Chains A and B, each alone.
Chain A
Amino acid sequence: MSKPSIEKGVNFIKGQIDAPVASFFSSCIHCGLCAEACLFYTETGDPKQTPINKVEPMRRVWEQEFTVLGKLKSMVGLGKPVDEKVFSEWETLVYDGCSLCGRCSLVCPVGNDISGMIRKIREGFSAAGHAPEGLISATQRAVEIGSPMGVKLPAVKAQIRHLQADTGLSVPLDQQGAEYMVLLSSMEIMNFPEYLEAIARIMKQAGKSWTISSTAFEATNSGIQIGVSDLAKVIVERVVDAAEALGVKTVISPECGHAYTAIRWDGPNLIGRPYKFEVKHILEVLDELTVAGLIQTEGMETAKLTYHDPCQIARKGGIVEAPRRLLNQVASNFIEMSEPGVMNWCCSGGGGVSANERADEIKLTAFRRKKSQLDELKVETLVTACANCRLTLEEGLEANGMDIPVVGLTEMVAEHLVEDGTQKESAS
């Protein structure tokens, strides 16, 4: 096993350059629109945070390796090198200053997928030994223990036991042939146990068979965040193997942004074949169950609330209408944030930023964008559908002395669920 080196890093960047990347670099018109679309630029005002600049090392490798002019420039000593200095300088831009939210890709007038290129350039930075400590250890835990936060099966089992003791609801483990296999994110196991209870109640009411896999309960994929496809593949394979062994029809991605991107979009490409099952986000499943009349809700939240669209779920996942249909069913005073849906602003903690302690300061600076959006609305509750957004938002709100509770949409729906036998009082 060779140690990380600059040479290796450059080679990995080179290996990531394909026809789309070449055309992106050739077609960039330097308009700067991506800067205005990036919260790490708008909130810091630092031109280095311009998204296209974050992939400058990749552009240099492309120019030097794949263009005639670049080769000539290198020959006469005019080419800008990609060396240790460059890796050190860009490391914080590539990891700390980007949440892979994809807003830059969306506004680019020539259609360059800048955030996709930042995901690619991370392959080179991690191979060069320039990935942040926090992400390296999270990835190590994800690969070796099975979860980036180090959650092991006994912890999940303990949570299941508590749930069963408290509510009498059953949580099937490794049930062969179940319709749904439910994935969890570590944060839901450690910080937000309400999620599992909500799922158990909703599935029971809908009369659907479901299960949790003892070998693949964790949905988050640190391999995607750190940018190492080989490791992302290992993590995806765990889920694919478990789901196909259990013969489930659908795998449900939890309220977690990158987990959804990893398992829904990146997964089949990583393993090189289509799945034998479907993947849906929990919001899609809830919406389907509601439309099919399998679950009903009663009562309305009356508090003024708004919805934070997680980037991976709305912008990259296309799930925009489902959460709104669900919200309007259980909340009477739901208002939209400015720029909702696919143009939403990131919470500031996606793409591995929240797992990277070094980035704490810039993360809080970037959070000012969300803060100003919330200040405009003066809501009493903030609803979202991603555990990572939720934690980032909670931290940001607390740091700014803002007293707004953050709630997961699935729990909110479960709160208002009409359950057989137990006629609930309508919640406040």
Chain B
Amino acid sequence: MSREIGNNPLDNGTFADHLEQNGVSRRGFLKFCTSMAAALALPAGSAEVMAEALAAAKRPTVIWLSFQECTGCTESITRSHTPTIENLIFDYISLDYHHTLQVAAGLQAEEARDQAMKAAYGKYLLIVDGAIPIKDGGIYSTIAGRTNLSMLEEAAAGAAALISVGTCAAYGGLPMAHPNPTGAVPVTDIVKDKPVMNIPGCPPIGLVMTSAIAHFLTFGRLPEMDQLGRPKAFYGDSIHDRCYRRPFYDRGLFAKAFDDEGARKGWCLYELGCKGPTTHNACATMKWNDGTSFPIESGHPCLGCSEPNFWDAGGFYEALSVPQSRMGETILKAGAVGVGVGAVAAALNQRNKAATVAAQETMTVDALKKES
């Protein structure tokens, strides 16, 4: 990380130029594109397209704003392994403003942001981590004397698209948890007129963040998203559906304490409060730290950190008995009616079948023959 960044936003050469400068071979670059395409579940052949698009494109300007956050998301993204933060953030994009990673500080840093915004107005990608406090005019979090609220409003106006990284930016997260003293809100409560993608998680998986950014660079648009604004490629399945402990759940084998026989045998952690069934994320498949492990694999239930309002959804160690807060009462009622109708239909079918079986005579050899 020796290169100084943020000083010269106008010098945005193409990727190819930068690769050459940095001694990255074409082969290495293709490898990177292939792993990206695979991570995003893109069709075969996308790697080539990606390679061409990335090689020819000008390195787009990226501005990263950090508000009410803990820097955990940045910590996580620096642990992305394909691409690494170095080759993505420093080589393929022009990261012109990031509190933690930039060398510049104070006035110099704020100037870099202004300059970058002006130079790439309407085209830059704005990444936000952290929630935005809006109570009392937003005074509870300020940078260089400006409130987060006004900084976001100004930066969003010139952005092509936004990515909310982390549960705080995506859904309010910890700052918004009860009693929410600063009136924290997610990005989507403030920015209504720009495409916003959410990469929730506390923190999100580094690879998910870098892959989503790579998708934007390649195709010039955000990937396909679900109703909560999350890229489907990574948030399409629940942890539970892809969990390697799922067979134990299906057989009703649960760990009841962290040190009992079930825990030692690796049984399902549902009764210890696992939120896997209601949590959509890629932890169970992509895992963490270069594919090493994920919480359930190391023996701890899923906290559900990538779901909205996860802090206020009951104790982490309380077994999930009711769906979490996003499921409104209407949905619950509709669901209950559906289950009821289904149960009645199933019961009728079962009676229908039971009566049929009961009426059947035992088959004999004679019963096989038409005439005898």
A325-358 to B contact mask, C-beta < 8 Å, 1/0:
0000000000000000000000000000000000
Give the contacts of A1-17 with B (CB-CB under 8 A).
Answer: 1-4, 8, 11-12, 14-15, 17
> Which chain A residue lies CB-closest to B360?
A15
| B353, B356, B368: residue with the most chain A Cβ atoms closer than 10 Å | B368
Check B368 against A65 for contact (C-beta < 8 Å). no
- Chain B residues numbered 354-372 whose CB sits less than 8 Å from any CB in chain A: 356-357, 359-370
Interface residues on B, range: 10 to 19
For A140, the chain B residues whose CB sits under 8 A away are: 365, 368
Q: Would you give the shortest CB distance from B346 to chain A, in whole angstroms? A: 9
Residues 321-372 of B at the A interface (beta carbon under 8 Å): 345, 349, 352-353, 356-357, 359-370
- Residues of A near B369 (CB, < 8 A) are 4, 129, 136
Determine whether the beta carbon of A131 is less than 8 Å from that of B367.
no
Are A129 and B370 in contact (CB-based, < 8 A)?
yes
A31 at the interface (CB under 8 A from B): no
Contacts of A14 in B (CB 8 A): 352-353, 356
Q: Given the interface contacts A14-B353, A15-B356, A129-B370, does A231 sit within 8 Å of B363 by beta carbon?
A: yes
List of B residues within 8 angstroms of A129 by Cβ: 368-370
A12 adjacent to B360 (CB under 8 Å): yes
Residues of B contacting A144 with CB < 8 Å?
365
- Nearest-CB residue, chain B, relative to A231: B363
| Neighbouring B residues of A292 by C-beta, 8 Å | none
B359–A11 CB distance below 8 A: yes
What is the number of contacts between chain A and chain B, taking CB atoms within 8 Å? 59
Query: Do the beta carbons of A226 and B356 come within 8 Å of each other?
Result: no
Q: In the complex, what residues of A have CB within 8 A of residue B367's CB?
A: 1-4, 127
- The distance from the CB of B195 to the nearest CB of chain A, in whole angstroms, is 34
Q: Does A224 touch B at the CB level, under 8 Å? A: no
Whether B359 pairs with A66 at a CB distance below 8 angstroms is no
**A1 CB contacts on chain B under 8 angstroms:** 361, 364, 366-367
Q: Does A158 have its Cβ within 8 Å of any Cβ on chain B?
A: no
Candidates A17, A18, A65, A139; contact of B365 at CB < 8 Å:
A139
A226 to B368, CA, bound (A): 10
| Chain A hits for B363, CB < 8 A | 126-127, 228-231
- Closest chain-A Cβ to B345's Cβ sits at a distance in Å of 7
Complex-state Cα separation, A4 to B366, whole angstroms:
9
Q: Are B370 and A11 in contact (CB under 8 A)?
A: no
Please state if A11 and B360 are interface contacts (CB–CB under 8 Å). Answer: yes
Answer yes or no: A76 CB below 8 A from chain B CBs. Answer: no
B362 nearest CB neighbor, chain A only: A230
In the bound complex, CA of A208 to CA of B125 (Å): 78
Cα-based distance from A12 to B358 in the complex (angstroms): 11
Interfacial chain A residues near B366, Cβ < 8 Å: 1
**B352 pairs with A66, CB closer than 8 A:** yes
Q: In the assembled complex, which residues on chain A have CB atoms less than 8 Å from the CB atom of B368?
A: 4, 126, 129, 131, 136, 139-140, 226, 228
Determine whether A68 belongs to the interface, using a CB cutoff of 8 Å to chain B. Answer: yes
Partner of A11, one of B349, B356, B362: B356
Tell me the complex Cα distance, A139–B363, Å. 12
Q: Give Cα A228 to B367, complex, Å.
A: 11
Who on chain B is nearest to A135 by CB?
A: B368
Query: Is residue A314 contacting chain B, with contact meaning CB distance below 8 A?
Result: no
A12 → chain B closest CB, angstroms: 6
In the bound complex, CA of A17 to CA of B352 (Å): 11
Which residues of chain B are near A65, meaning CB under 8 Å?
Answer: 349, 352
- Cβ of A143 < 8 Å from any Cβ of B? yes
**Max chain A C-beta neighbours (<10 A), residue from B353, B360, B361, B365:** B365
Instruction: Tell me the B104-155 residues at the A interface (CB within 8 Å).
Output: none
- Residues of A within 8 Å of B345, CB to CB, are 68
A230 to B368, CA, bound (A): 12
Distance A68 CA – B165 CA, assembled complex (angstroms) = 46
- Measured between beta carbons, the chain B residues less than 8 angstroms from A8 are 360
Taking CB atoms, residues of chain A closer than 8 Å to B361 are 1-2
A387 to chain B, nearest CB (A): 24
Residues of B within 8 A of A17 (CB): 353
Q: In angstroms, how far is the closest chain A Cβ from the Cβ of B257?
A: 33
Find the A residue at minimum CB distance from B365. A140
Q: For residue B368, which residue of chain A has the nearest CB?
A: A136
In angstroms, Cα B362 to Cα A140, docked, is 15
Measured between alpha carbons, how far is A277 from B361 in the docked complex, in Å?
A: 31
Bound complex: CA A15 to CA B367 (Å): 17
A222-239 interface bits toward B, Cβ cutoff 8 Å, 1 = contact, 0 = none: 000010111100000000
9 contacts across the A-B interface (CB closer than 8 A)? A11-B359, A12-B360, A14-B353, A15-B356, A65-B349, A127-B367, A136-B369, A139-B368, A144-B365
Binding site for A on B (CB under 8 A): 345, 349, 352-353, 356-357, 359-370
* Sample of 18 further A-B pairs with CB below 8 A, known A15-B360, A144-B365, A226-B368: A1-B361, A1-B364, A2-B361, A2-B367, A4-B370, A8-B360, A14-B352, A14-B353, A15-B353, A18-B353, A126-B363, A129-B368, A136-B365, A136-B368, A139-B365, A139-B368, A230-B363, A231-B364
